[in-house]
């Protein structure tokens, strides 16, 4: 006959063993869930962060190593959508300092795009590593997926993104930028004008000199008959805004009149473009 005390000890050991087994099984399941999380989870996160305007469709693989198609839309309920040709492929790996994201897309990314995400206490930093003069190139027609006014303008030409020593830090509810971002709009055309191309332009984003957390925006004309210019601010404690104007080069007024009526508020020969308020 087994003494009561010995029987209780065996039951305790058995219960402890069962507890460890269950803990190990749950830990294994959690680890498998993290390692093999489907790519569709990342697609849902991107859609939520962009208010349903940037989508990853036909997602395959996992969060850590997957691919999908990039689509621009006008947001929830919009009937407008535009898809890039070719699949976007990505991989996410652990590094001592954070997570390294690698992305490639034959149509649009110059080589391999690399971003290092460094989490911290109440902050996160994203650093872009680039070894080329430009990072990404998209057809301007892709913007039609965003809906009005892009679906009306029906732009032709290309958009080329480049960055120099770019780093973004998020802390205390604000994004702060280091380095410079240039978006070149090359050989643009529009179905609203018989004149093609309209011109080439540069949108430049630089850190605000006052260290307020905001970034300064400038728009300039590189060449062409449609003259665009403007200044603005992005992010920071103040509101995001942009003030610009469009005008036609001498002798091109008739060809550009309809387009100038659409892209801004007419004030005589020029068209005023206003987004937000200073």
In sequence order, the 6+-apart residues with CB closer than 8 A to the CB of 44 are none
Express as a percent the part of the chain with pLDDT over 90.
62
Q: What is the mean pLDDT of residues 195-204?
A: 96
Q: What is the mean pLDDT of residues 159-164?
A: 93
> Where do the structural domains in the chain lie, given as residue ranges?
133-278
Considering Cα of 94, then 97, then 98, then 103, what sign does the dihedral take? Answer: negative
**In the structure, what pLDDT confidence band is assigned to residue 25 with cuts at 50, 70 and 90?**
very low
Q: What is the mean pLDDT of residues 177-187?
A: 94
Beta bridge partners of 109: 136
Considering Cα of 142, then 189, then 107, then 135, what sign does the dihedral take? Answer: negative
**In the structure, what pLDDT confidence band is assigned to residue 77 with cuts at 50, 70 and 90?**
confident
Cα 202 from Cα 220, distance rounded (Å): 5
Cα 206 from Cα 218, distance rounded (Å): 9
Q: Has residue 38 got a pLDDT over 80? A: yes
State the pLDDT at residue 83.
96
Tell me which DSSP letter residue 109 carries. Answer: B
Q: What is the mean pLDDT of residues 161-168?
A: 90
Q: Has residue 48 got a pLDDT over 70? A: yes
Q: Has residue 36 got a pLDDT over 60? A: no
At 205-224, the pLDDT tens digits run 998 776 567 899 999 999 99
State the pLDDT at residue 32.
43
- Chain mean pLDDT for the chain: 85
Residue with tokens 């069962």: 18
At 236-265, the pLDDT tens digits run 666 788 999 999 999 999 999 999 999 999
**In the structure, what pLDDT confidence band is assigned to residue 30 with cuts at 50, 70 and 90?**
very low
Q: Between these two residues, 275 and 33, which has the higher pLDDT value?
A: 275
| CB distance 108 to 138 below 8 Å | yes
**In the structure, what pLDDT confidence band is assigned to residue 234 with cuts at 50, 70 and 90?**
confident
Q: Has residue 29 got a pLDDT over 80? A: no
Cα 134 from Cα 156, distance rounded (Å): 20
Q: Has residue 232 got a pLDDT over 60? A: yes
Residue with tokens 């508020």: 265
Compute CA 174 distance to the chain's CA centroid, rounded to the nearest angstrom: 17
Tell me which of 60-69, 182-191, 202-211 is least confident.
202-211
Cα 201 from Cα 195, distance rounded (Å): 16
Q: Between these two residues, 55 and 211, which has the higher pLDDT value?
A: 55
Tell me which DSSP letter residue 63 carries. Answer: S
How many Cβ atoms sit within 10 Å of the Cβ of residue 261?
A: 12
């Amino acid at each position: 006959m087994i003494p009561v005390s010995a029987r209780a000890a065996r039951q305790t050991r058995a219960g402890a063993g069962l507890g460890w087994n269950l803990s190990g099984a749950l830990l294994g399941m959690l680890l498998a869930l993290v390692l093999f999380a489907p790519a569709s989870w990342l697609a849902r996160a991107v859609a939520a962060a962009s208010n349903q305007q940037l989508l990853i469709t036909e997602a395959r693989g996992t969060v850590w190593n997957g691919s999908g198609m990039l689509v621009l839309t006008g947001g929830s309920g919009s009937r407008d959508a535009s898809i890039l040709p070719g699949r976007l492929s990505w991989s996410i790996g652990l590094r001592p300092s954070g997570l390294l994201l690698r992305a490639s897309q034959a149509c649009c990314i110059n080589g391999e795009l690399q971003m290092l995400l460094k989490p911290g206490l109440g902050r996160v930093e994203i650093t872009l590593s680039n070894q080329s003069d430009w990072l990404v190139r998209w057809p301007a027609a892709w913007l039609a997926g965003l809906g009005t006014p892009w679906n009306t303008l029906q732009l032709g030409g290309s958009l080329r993104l480049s960055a120099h020593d770019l780093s973004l830090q998020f802390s205390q509810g604000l994004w702060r930028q280091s380095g410079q971002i240039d978006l070149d709009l090359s050989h643009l055309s529009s179905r609203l004008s018989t004149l093609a191309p309209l011109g080439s332009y540069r949108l430049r984003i630089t850190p605000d000199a006052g260290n307020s957390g905001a970034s300064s925006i400038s728009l300039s004309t590189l060449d062409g008959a449609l003259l665009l210019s403007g200044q603005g601010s992005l992010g920071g404690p103040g509101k995001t805004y942009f003030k610009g104007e469009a005008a036609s080069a001498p002798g091109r007024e008739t060809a550009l009149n309809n387009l100038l009526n659409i892209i801004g508020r007419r004030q005589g020969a020029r068209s005023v473009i206003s987004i937000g308020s200073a």
